[in-house]
């Protein structure tokens, strides 16, 4: 795809393996507020969804701000210890940058932990623009986060490709009219085929980070 000049990455589950700390934070929240743990499959289906949205669904009788603080306090305390880069991802981001592509990060995570993860693994400097939940009023699957990063990068949707791991990423890419790539190491969607994903089907599925280089 020689017309691509911009590569966008999701953070959680795509660049950074945050699966364990997210699951731990949810179970801590359920134990604290309801004295029980939730089915991990139920939690998986919320991966990529804005936290406030999920909290309102799970705990309708608890003030949302209170529930979010229970989750975030545990998450902040444990984030640095339980995250890791997916193998090959740092090398991919470096190579994409070296080849002259504009590189952006689009996440529904807050800025503070996003930066903590990027700085821990020394990859912050490869991103020309970083859009987090702090920068938007609407979140994935709404196209607003991608539209904002495209304006910052002076990029056009038709020249942009986006990697993600959840339905929210794929639908966001589609709504923003950018080419979508599902990473098969996704905990939420790994093993799914384009046919199984229906309206959210990505343009491409990759099994290893370096396979992106064959597409762009």
Q: Verify whether residue 165 is a known catalytic residue.
A: no
Query: What would the pLDDT profile of 150-205 be if each residue is shown by its tens digit?
Result: 999 999 999 999 999 999 999 999 999 999 999 999 998 988 999 999 989 999 99
Q: Domains along the chain? A: 6-18+84-215 (3.40.50.1000), 19-82 (1.10.150.240)
Active-site residue identified among 10, 12, 165, 169:
10
Name the residue among 213, 111, 116, 206 with its Cα closest to residue 165. Answer: 206
**Average per-residue pLDDT in the chain?**
96
pLDDT at 144 over 70: yes
pTM above 0.85, yes or no: yes
pLDDT of residue 190: 87
> In a 3-state reduction of DSSP, which class is residue 105?
strand
Distance between CA 166 and CA 170 in Å, rounded?
Answer: 7
pLDDT class for 2, splitting at 50, 70, 90? confident
Query: What would the pLDDT profile of 12-50 be if each residue is shown by its tens digit?
Result: 999 999 999 999 999 999 999 999 999 999 999 999 898
Query: What would the pLDDT profile of 86-108 be if each residue is shown by its tens digit?
Result: 999 999 999 999 999 999 999 99
């Amino acid at each position: 795809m020689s017309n691509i000049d911009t590569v966008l990455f999701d953070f959680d589950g795509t660049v950074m393996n945050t699966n364990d700390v997210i699951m731990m934070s949810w179970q801590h929240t359920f134990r604290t507020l309801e004295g029980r743990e939730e089915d991990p499959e139920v939690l998986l289906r919320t991966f990529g969804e804005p936290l406030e949205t999920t909290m309102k669904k799970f705990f309708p009788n608890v003030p949302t701000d209170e529930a979010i603080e229970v989750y975030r306090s545990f998450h902040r305390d444990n984030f640095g210890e339980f995250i890791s880069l997916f193998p090959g991802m740092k090398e991919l981001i470096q190579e994409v940058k070296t080849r002259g592509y504009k590189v952006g990060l689009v996440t529904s995570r807050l800025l503070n932990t996003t930066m903590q993860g990027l700085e821990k693994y020394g990859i912050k400097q490869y991103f020309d623009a970083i859009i987090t939940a702090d920068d938007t009023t609407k979140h994935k699957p709404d196209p607003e986060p991608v539209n904002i990063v495209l304006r910052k990068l002076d990029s056009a949707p038709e020249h942009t490709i986006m990697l993600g791991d959840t339905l929210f990423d794929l639908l966001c890419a589609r709504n923003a009219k950018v080419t979508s790539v599902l990473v098969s190491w996704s905990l939420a969607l790994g093993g799914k085929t384009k046919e199984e994903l229906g309206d959210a089907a990505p343009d491409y599925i990759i099994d290893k980070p370096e396979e992106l280089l064959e597409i762009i």
